[in-house]
Structure 1
């Protein structure tokens, strides 16, 4: 097995055609077919089937493609580090961001990386915290933003900020940013929450147990946009971080109030603890902290307090 065979496998899987893959790889079609044949002989299993829409990976092919992507990504990073050891920082960095934070910091991070480290290629992937953590541990991400995580033998973290959670409803609800409400405000009212074990759901249920509050959860939605849509359609109230609702409140689409006592969650940057962090990844992490600090200090991240760097 060699790199040419792995690149042929991935290119055929993406283009669904040996002919198109050959054009992408600047090879003749028989050469690509031969690489696939040798790979199948070595694996002892067929890697593709021919369907109406073109070449499709078999289960064995999907498994090999997953490992091939990871291997090639690691090699690309190693090449970038070796070539840049004595010159400018370069390499590929896969960064995971949470949906609620993406609009706030993705642009500033990308701009900062481009201006300061033009040799770094940044790839941004969005996902829920649980998925981002899985991708980190699987090696598919180099760094990510996560919620309420502590360091573990496999995960290194740096706390960035604490953010307040808000009760969110329609403008006619009487909720206001300067008028904190107790969690008991939601008693007897329809509530929309994420499904368990989502972080916000866990925080709210824990606080309900502490304050002896019972909620009537009429709908579940893991996506914050869906939670806001359900509220706008009059289905009930929800609980969201300030970063997700500040623009909607300013436009008069939604109303929100912080909780009293405050219900907060921690946002951290994270990376695999058992994998050496590259120079390029460290530079992206630095730019992420700069972007977060700027959002908080300029008031764009509602209800957030920065955590001093250790």
Structure 2
């Protein structure tokens, strides 16, 4: 197999169409078809099911595309590192940001890297902590923010921030950020919950047990932005990390306050792989990210948060 075949495979998997893949690769459609068929012939297994809805990867096709995508990314990274401008740090860096922190951190991180380190191609992925940790383990991320991680056999964890979870309600309830809300009061309202499997779901249900409260779960969703939208529309209250509502406190649609009785906190760490050489570009982006996190906490843009080294 060669690089052209791998690129064809990955592009067809991502688009679900040989025609669309050919357009993106600037090839004619028969050329892409030949590359896919050559791969199937070499491996002796079908890589796609051809359907009326398009090209659907088989189990083997999806597995090969996964590995091919990583191989192509590593080659792109090597090419960037081996052809640097004089004195410049170059390379591709893929960063994982928690969905709750992305609004606060993504723009300043990108702005700094683009302004001061133009030789670095920055790629940002957002997801739940569990997904980010899996992508980091699989090699799809170079570094990532994770929470409630103290370390693992495959990852280093550098503690950064400890923050409190907040109750979030429609503005009409008038929650005051300076006056904590008891968990029992939150439980008296329908709750918009994060989906099971989300780390926040476990934190909230654990706090409910400690408070002796029974949650009236109205809706469950895997989207933090949808949680806030549903609260704005009056469907219930929710519980979110302080950083996830930092940009909403000046508006007229939501009100929020720290939880108490019990307090619920999470720790955020920077996760990096234990094995392998750490490229200079990855180290640099990690330092920039940590600097922006420290500035956000010290400037009060990250409510109810303290830096781990200041506790």
TM-score band w.r.t. shorter chain: 0.7 to 0.9
Question: Structure 1 residue 120: deviation in Å?
Answer: 0.9
Question: Structure 1 residue 86: deviation in Å?
Answer: 7.9
1: CA distance, partners of 2:198 / 2:167: 17
Gaps of 5+ in 1: none
2: CA distance, partners of 1:160 / 1:80: 30
The equivalent residue for 2:307 is: 306
Any idea what the Cα deviations from partners look like across 1:194-240, whole Å, max 9, x if unmatched?
23332222222223333333333333223222222222232322111
2: CA distance, partners of 1:143 / 1:127: 13
The equivalent residue for 1:127 is: 127
The equivalent residue for 1:271 is: 272
| Alpha-carbon spacing, 1:22–1:294, altered in 2? closer, same or farther (3 Å) | same
Q: Is the 8 Å Cα contact of residues 153 and 274 (structure 1) preserved in structure 2?
A: no
| Alpha-carbon spacing, 1:194–1:49, altered in 2? closer, same or farther (3 Å) | closer
The equivalent residue for 1:189 is: 189
- 1:142-153 matches, within 5 Å, as 142-153=142-153
Deviates more, 1:153-162 or 1:168-177: 168-177
Q: Is the 8 Å Cα contact of residues 85 and 119 (structure 2) preserved in structure 1?
A: no
Q: Is the 8 Å Cα contact of residues 22 and 28 (structure 1) preserved in structure 2?
A: yes
Question: Structure 1 residue 132: deviation in Å?
Answer: 1.2
Any idea what the Cα deviations from partners look like across 1:234-259, whole Å, max 9, x if unmatched?
23221112222233331121111112
Q: Is the 8 Å Cα contact of residues 92 and 121 (structure 2) preserved in structure 1?
A: yes
1: CA distance, partners of 2:239 / 2:131: 21
| Alpha-carbon spacing, 1:195–1:33, altered in 2? closer, same or farther (3 Å) | closer
Question: Structure 1 residue 106: deviation in Å?
Answer: 0.5
The TM-score with structure 2 as length reference comes to: 0.87
SS in 1 for 2:158: strand
- Is 1:70 paired with 2:70? yes
- Is 1:234 paired with 2:234? yes
| Alpha-carbon spacing, 1:120–1:205, altered in 2? closer, same or farther (3 Å) | same
Deviates more, 1:137-146 or 1:42-51: 42-51
2: CA distance, partners of 1:96 / 1:305: 21
- Is 1:92 paired with 2:92? yes
SS in 2 for 1:259: strand
- Is 1:208 paired with 2:192? no
The TM-score with structure 1 as length reference comes to: 0.87
| Alpha-carbon spacing, 1:85–1:251, altered in 2? closer, same or farther (3 Å) | closer
Question: Structure 1 residue 130: deviation in Å?
Answer: 1.4
Q: Is the 8 Å Cα contact of residues 96 and 132 (structure 2) preserved in structure 1?
A: yes
Any idea what the Cα deviations from partners look like across 1:244-290, whole Å, max 9, x if unmatched?
22333311211111123532211111122233322111111111112
Question: Structure 1 residue 122: deviation in Å?
Answer: 0.7
1: CA distance, partners of 2:189 / 2:15: 51
Question: Structure 1 residue 49: deviation in Å?
Answer: 4.8
Question: Structure 1 residue 150: deviation in Å?
Answer: 1.4
Any idea what the Cα deviations from partners look like across 1:156-209, whole Å, max 9, x if unmatched?
111111111111112332421111122222343322222333222222222333
The equivalent residue for 2:244 is: 244
Question: How many pairs does the alignment contain?
Answer: 309
- 1:1-310 matches, within 5 Å, as 1-14=1-14, 25=25, 32-52=32-52, 55-84=55-84, 87-260=87-260, 262-308=263-309
2: CA distance, partners of 1:145 / 1:305: 16
Deviates more, 1:263-272 or 1:195-204: 195-204
Q: Is the 8 Å Cα contact of residues 81 and 279 (structure 1) preserved in structure 2?
A: no
User: Cα RMSD between the aligned structures?
Assistant: 2.7
Q: Is the 8 Å Cα contact of residues 47 and 61 (structure 2) preserved in structure 1?
A: yes
